[in-house]
Structure 1
Amino acid sequence: MEPGSTGLVTDAGSHTPGRGNPIRCRLRTRDMTQSLRRALDEVRQAPLVVDVLRSGDRLAAAAARESGPEPVRLLTAAIHDRDELTAVAAVHALAQVFDDGADAALSELLSHPRQFVREHASWALGTRLPRLGAIGRLVEVVVDGGFSGVLAQRTLARWATSAPDQVASAIEVALTDAVAGTTRSRLVETLGLVPGPVAGRALLGLAAEDDEHPAVRLAAVAALGDRPDDDDTVALVRRLATADGELGAVSRLAAIDLGIDDAGSGEDRAGLTVAQLFLHADIDRDLSRAGAGDNGGVATLLVRLGDALAAGPDVARVLTLSRGTPQAALDALQAPSRAEEHLLTPVPLLPEAVSAAQAWPSRVAAQRGIRRVLRTHRPDVLHLRMAEVGSLAAAEVARELGIPVVFTLAPDPHAVIHALDMTGGLHRGNFGAADEREHYWFRARLVQRLAEDAAHVVLFPRPELQHDMRELLGLDVAGQPDRYTVVPEGVDLGVSAAAAAELERPGAPGPALAELDALVAALPERRRSLPLAISVGRLHRVKGMATLVEAWASDPALVERCNLVIVGGDLADPSPDEREQLERVDEVLARFPAAADGLLMPGHRPNDVVAVWLAAARAGRPDGNGPNGVYVCSSLKEEFGLALLEALASGLVVVGPAAGGPATYIEDGVTGVLVDTRRPDEVARAVRAAFDLATAPGQAERVDRALERVRADFTVQAMADRLSSIYAGAVRTAGRS
């Protein structure tokens, strides 16, 4: 059926095109099918994976002009082919065909033996009319969970607007068979997206049931906050709000959502209120979790940037949203400091914190929590970064509330896809399996949607910005200069200055220096005076930490020249991504056991501690590490590289990727070395070259040159000034001034 129409489709019947001249109809159908075949051939013959992201759009556009059984047959055959990349494109093209046969084919794909096909069918069905026979299958996908369950849940929520009773009944049937609390809570969360009395009565019963699984009750209570405020709902939420623990906190948040409890803040201020978010971080003022899990450079940036924005003349208040507990969210809403200009506002995601790639099932909770914060504080503009669940949820809330969005557009996942394509790690034969883990197709479409809907788009500097945007994303940024602005990220030079001063402070070393000294003292005696090659970041394959260890460990001369320090990762409770990198490091050391004595992996450390360690790596320590260390970033993809900038500001020679942001501020052979980080041998060569630079004559001039480069263009204060102007322009454009 035609996407966007309303109604309910049964499993019987098929669409028949309007009648006319039979010969003319056959000729028109043949011409259209030939156009579809050409578009399909373009997808199959595209040389690069990123090319298919755009040719897939053209295939879908060609399919939208088709009707009848032939295009359905043609696309279904492509879906069953071994070419996984073409199969994905064909699923979404099939969803555009004007024919009941397309609905039937998509429904059948929910039972396809390949997981990625089922996943994309769940997504694609959301553009179609509700199909009675597919509702139960989609509920089964929700039961299975994961990213597929998220896509099925979105489709069911869309179908529920025109078929609420059918969707609610199917979910209730599934609940009678589901035993596990996590499964039941997913189903209840989905039930909360269904309007109407059938779903409402079921949610009230589940929320009131004392013997129900705690996660199920939490999901039901949270969903009640989005229902009409009838007497039964209000009475139950008020009663549960007196409960202790998480149930009471979630109930009090639901009371705020219903409007029966006051959230507290939201006073008018002279100047802009700006909201920014990164939901996959545990953000606190001390940045104590920096480098653990997904608490990377962006978490540090948002704290520093929020402070700098609020200190400027045009921004009155900054809201930084990150994940937190229901009680923390409640406290922030009900007892904010009215004098505080930069508020850290937690969003409860209810499930256990997971990595960004695994966090998509928190979409509904994220959307609910973001809506609550934005309704309370009424920001004038919302700044989004990255194609992840927080941006997806926040963009939907912003559209609902009429808040203009500024979006920082990076070619991600496009750059990662391209890099993996170039190394052979991603190709037509394995794209579907890779997409199941990383959701490349969905995230690429999300980037496209966020950029299209944004009031203004911010870009990172890149050596070939216009070329990369055109080739990777198909965007002509030069043709719309008023819509796109390049804004470099920035660091707080005060942090680097304080770290350098710490080295000069008389008396016993402070805690940061004492810890570094102890780490070095634990090394074999012959290694204690060696300089450090240091790298700071998350333990994630994109950051290339295991590649760096391999580059260093496999080069005997380099092992004898320096110790390697990897700062990052939650070693006490590693995430799956962190465990993967730690296992790879163990494999490297098993091959090069002589290097084990010189590798230091202390785990994550607060940003201020890292700054002191960088300063010590350059200056050296009495009876500790030697001077003239270097900093190494071996990321497969680095859009900008805040840790690299902090290392430059500390006076270290740096090694960074010869692409993306680092190539715009590292002077190759002067302040650092640019390298193809995909090759461990090249990384090792670059580290050797960096040590040569660090011990060459003219060190004072090199350090001054690097610091002036950072000071001129890459401070967080300069970034805040540029963004303030962009925010004001976005608000004016949206008519909110």
Structure 2
Amino acid sequence: MGIQTTLDAVATAPRIIDAIRLADDLALEARRDPGVRTIRVLAAAIAGTDQVSAIAAVHALAALFDEQASRSLSRLLSDERPFIREHAAWALGETLPRFDAIGRLLSLVADGGFTGMLAQTTLENWSGAVGETLAVAIDAALLGVEGTPARTRLVETLGLVRQPIAERRLLEIALDEKEHEDVRVAAVAALGQRPDGARIADHLEHLVGGEGRLAEVARLAVIDLQVVTRRPTETDGGLTVAQLFLHADIDPTLASAGAGDNGGIATLLVRLGDALVADPAAHVERVLTLSRGPVPQAAADLLSVGSDTGHVYGHVPLAPSAVPSAAAWPLRVTARRGIRRLLRAAGRVDVLHLRMADVGSLAAVDVARELGIPVVFTVAPDPHSIIQSLDRSGELTRATFGDVDRREHFWFRMRLVQNLAANAAHTVLFPRPELARDMRELVGIDVGSHPERHTIVAEGVDLDVVDRAVVDASAHALDPTRDERFADLHALTEALPPHRRGLPIIASVGRLHRVKGMATLVEAWASSPLSERANLLIIGGDLDNPSLDEREQLERIDVVVPPSTRNAAGLLLVGHRPNDVAARWLAAVRFGVPGLIAPNGVYVCASLKEEFGIALLEAMATGLTVVAPDAGGPATYVEDGITGVLTATWDPAQLTGAVSTALDLAARGDESLTRRAHDMVAARFTIQGMAAALGPVYRGVAASEAELLRAVGPVA
């Protein structure tokens, strides 16, 4: 097509999502014609006001194996626009090392954040060729940096230099009692990755015997230095499947479900792991579920993940305090180290199942590549669907995309999805009304080209939990004094003004995150007649110690319903509850509580996008009429106008109308529809059904890997 024609296509693409996908074509055309004019055309686009085209041009520069292009890309590290600096730091990782860029990349590393992670990744890519130069540059940078966070990040980067020159300096820092503990911890953790294990372990011996965080990390580093036997080429007995979600403190009891990032995925992994090992047909002997956790727990887990069967939990120490997923990218190195430690300790892992375009998957795929573990990846158009929704609503434009991208990392996450899908041994897809079209147009995957590599698997819910909740709530509606497990719900509704007691409830369960639309739901309810028709119950979020994402949603909610007026307005903002408690409360929304809650309330999912919707399915199984997004997974199981209402949830007016319609549908009290919804979930969307569908996928991937090993033998 030519560089100018392709750039024009990027600039005139009807949707932002289309323009981003065309960036690959722009890079290809640049590589085909690496001339002076190509560089000028790209430079003009970078200087323009179309931020999407500017970013595409930055990455196209990296595709040119040309000294002038490389020099131009390096100069962009000093551009006045932060989003250009960020993408230049990322794009440079695809080029040959440039000595004139090392200092500025280290400055970005010291500053931290997502941009710092990208700069660090680029330097790691370069370290194989210019490791000694990089080590000297880091040492020099440390002389001029006093702040603890910056020094910690620089020392962590020094640990990525494989050449022996880095080892001496890391040991000096690790043993220097004048250094801040955080800096020493970074050095000690990095030493655990060095090849000369026995000698380094001797140096760390006196730290191991101490107390506190430094000693705990030193003990893990010594474990990391131990030689682990290579995984066998043949598997005996059932499979070992690893799955992870690092943004939650996952525990078998699901006590913190709904707090921070402990959303539906955390619930799903607990229930799915249990179902896989309980199903003989799945042929899964062990499921290893990885999540975040403290350093002492990480050390204790190493014994169980290496010896126990069944559903085993391992924890990756990320940071002293929980970090929301959007801010966790700088923990890439720490996450990779913790995942590697657990998968090595497991002895044999046949399949690693990744599901998210997040730092956990970014780190885990590196470990899987190193250890030779095949990956199954669940592909979803995320963040593609979010970009599409924001584009349609006008909240995201070409003139603002780069600035928004610095916060949301849309471009990087899209590329991560693309790379994970392209390199996976098998991909799993959610059911969608137009699955093939959406995968092709949003993600760029043609599922028809190699259908044997793709499997459609619906997520599932634990119907036993839902059915017990329905039994409990229906009995409680007949005799509200008999079940103390509803006491907290009684107290909440008794605190409402008399005129609000006895109204039905609009309920929603989930994380307090912009994508989940909780603040949008409150705004739509509070500013419409809905507030007079029903009370609003929001279950989810850590109200006492909110994360940044939760705080943003709470601040928006407080604008329309100040905390002091919540009861008077009928807003029940209750924070997260254990999964079984949330299930009983949803059942009470259906059956009511005499004098406090009218029966036939509704459930609302106001998410910008919902790839599938575990909480929605639980609500439908409970017998509630639901409101759901009109795109993605919910459109495959919500019967619009019958079991629920599908709507453009990003539009407050349409959301308001949909909730009103749902209340009208629910008020009919049609028991045949509640049975219909329950039976639909029982037939198509149980956790046992999900496990049965994934079992053959895992067996097929493991068998193919074993065949490869028999054919070519282990790679030295």
Q: TM-score range by the shorter chain?
A: over 0.9
Structure 2 CA distance for partners of 1:355 and 1:488, relative to 1, 3 Å:
same
Unaligned runs of 5+ in 2: 710-716
Q: How far is the alpha carbon of 1:248 from its aligned partner?
A: 1.8
Which residue pairs with 1:451 in the alignment? 421
Which residue pairs with 2:610 in the alignment? 638
Structure 2 CA distance for partners of 1:224 and 1:262, relative to 1, 3 Å:
farther
Which residue pairs with 2:705 in the alignment? 734
In 1, distance between residues paired with 2:394 and 2:161?
44
Unaligned runs of 5+ in 1: 1-33
Deviates more, 1:507-516 or 1:627-636: 507-516
Q: How far is the alpha carbon of 1:211 from its aligned partner?
A: 2.2
Which residue pairs with 1:412 in the alignment? 382
In 2, distance between residues paired with 1:650 and 1:224?
53
Deviates more, 1:591-600 or 1:225-234: 591-600
Q: Does 1:650 align with 2:619?
A: no
Which residue pairs with 1:8 in the alignment? none
Q: Does 1:369 align with 2:341?
A: no
Structure 2 CA distance for partners of 1:193 and 1:591, relative to 1, 3 Å:
closer
Which residue pairs with 2:63 in the alignment? 96
Q: 2:531 touches 2:569 (CA, 8 Å); kept in 1?
A: no
Which residue pairs with 1:598 in the alignment? 570
Q: Does 1:552 align with 2:525?
A: yes
Q: How far is the alpha carbon of 1:473 from its aligned partner?
A: 1.6
Which residue pairs with 2:674 in the alignment? 703
Structure 2 CA distance for partners of 1:728 and 1:260, relative to 1, 3 Å:
closer
Correspondence list, 1:57-456, <5 A: 57-229=24-196, 232-259=199-226, 270-313=237-280, 314-335=283-304, 338-350=307-319, 352-377=321-346, 378-456=348-426
Structure 2 CA distance for partners of 1:509 and 1:359, relative to 1, 3 Å:
farther
Aligned AA (2:617): L
In 2, distance between residues paired with 1:342 and 1:185?
36
Q: How far is the alpha carbon of 1:237 from its aligned partner?
A: 2.3
In 1, distance between residues paired with 2:59 and 2:507?
45
SS of equivalent to 1:161: helix
Q: Does 1:530 align with 2:499?
A: no
Q: 1:512 touches 1:613 (CA, 8 Å); kept in 2?
A: no
Deviations 1:467-486 (A, max 9, x none): 11121122221232211111
SS of equivalent to 1:331: helix
Q: 2:110 touches 2:149 (CA, 8 Å); kept in 1?
A: no
Deviates more, 1:681-690 or 1:141-150: 681-690
Which residue pairs with 1:492 in the alignment? 462
Give the CA RMSD over aligned residues.
2.0
Q: How far is the alpha carbon of 1:333 from its aligned partner?
A: 0.6
Which residue pairs with 1:715 in the alignment? 686
Structure 2 CA distance for partners of 1:240 and 1:497, relative to 1, 3 Å:
same
Q: How far is the alpha carbon of 1:67 from its aligned partner?
A: 2.6
Aligned AA (1:553): A
Aligned AA (2:673): R
SS of equivalent to 2:538: strand
Correspondence list, 1:16-95, <5 A: 35-95=2-62
How many residue pairs match? The answer is 699
SS of equivalent to 1:163: helix
Aligned partner (choices 676, 689, 711) of residue 661 of structure 2: 689
In 1, distance between residues paired with 2:44 and 2:692?
54
Q: How far is the alpha carbon of 1:622 from its aligned partner?
A: 3.1
Aligned AA (2:402): G
In 1, distance between residues paired with 2:507 and 2:604?
6
SS of equivalent to 2:506: strand
Deviates more, 1:227-236 or 1:410-419: 227-236
Aligned AA (1:687): V
Q: 1:290 touches 1:299 (CA, 8 Å); kept in 2?
A: yes
Q: 1:279 touches 1:347 (CA, 8 Å); kept in 2?
A: yes
Deviations 1:349-403 (A, max 9, x none): 1353211111000000100111111111121000001111001111111111111
Aligned partner (choices 545, 552, 555) of residue 580 of structure 1: 552
Q: Does 1:660 align with 2:632?
A: yes
Structure 2 CA distance for partners of 1:351 and 1:339, relative to 1, 3 Å:
closer
In 1, distance between residues paired with 2:576 and 2:197?
49
Structure 2 CA distance for partners of 1:337 and 1:193, relative to 1, 3 Å:
closer
In 1, distance between residues paired with 2:632 and 2:603?
18
In 1, distance between residues paired with 2:33 and 2:553?
47
TM-score norm. by structure 2 comes to 0.95
Aligned AA (1:143): A
In 1, distance between residues paired with 2:563 and 2:284?
54
In 2, distance between residues paired with 1:60 and 1:339?
49
Aligned AA (2:53): T
Q: How far is the alpha carbon of 1:246 from its aligned partner?
A: 1.8
In 2, distance between residues paired with 1:350 and 1:580?
22
Q: Does 1:477 align with 2:439?
A: no
Q: 1:462 touches 1:661 (CA, 8 Å); kept in 2?
A: yes
Structure 2 CA distance for partners of 1:576 and 1:706, relative to 1, 3 Å:
same
Q: How far is the alpha carbon of 1:734 from its aligned partner?
A: 2.2
In 2, distance between residues paired with 1:371 and 1:511?
46
Aligned AA (1:720): A
In 2, distance between residues paired with 1:385 and 1:680?
30
Q: 1:66 touches 1:98 (CA, 8 Å); kept in 2?
A: no
Q: 1:553 touches 1:592 (CA, 8 Å); kept in 2?
A: no
Q: How far is the alpha carbon of 1:616 from its aligned partner?
A: 0.8
Q: How far is the alpha carbon of 1:676 from its aligned partner?
A: 1.3
In 2, distance between residues paired with 1:450 and 1:702?
40
In 2, distance between residues paired with 1:340 and 1:246?
30
In 2, distance between residues paired with 1:321 and 1:310?
16
Structure 2 CA distance for partners of 1:192 and 1:678, relative to 1, 3 Å:
same
Structure 2 CA distance for partners of 1:216 and 1:722, relative to 1, 3 Å:
same
Deviations 1:538-590 (A, max 9, x none): 1111111111112111222x222210001111111111111111111122236
Q: How far is the alpha carbon of 1:596 from its aligned partner?
A: 5.1
In 2, distance between residues paired with 1:159 and 1:337?
35
Which residue pairs with 1:17 in the alignment? none
In 2, distance between residues paired with 1:592 and 1:336?
48
Q: 1:404 touches 1:454 (CA, 8 Å); kept in 2?
A: yes
SS of equivalent to 2:452: coil
Q: 1:71 touches 1:97 (CA, 8 Å); kept in 2?
A: no
Deviates more, 1:466-475 or 1:313-322: 466-475
Aligned partner (choices 467, 489, 494) of residue 516 of structure 1: 489
SS of equivalent to 1:113: coil
Q: 2:502 touches 2:594 (CA, 8 Å); kept in 1?
A: no
SS of equivalent to 1:135: helix
In 2, distance between residues paired with 1:344 and 1:622?
42
Q: 2:197 touches 2:226 (CA, 8 Å); kept in 1?
A: no
Which residue pairs with 1:466 in the alignment? 436
SS of equivalent to 2:313: strand
In 2, distance between residues paired with 1:551 and 1:394?
40
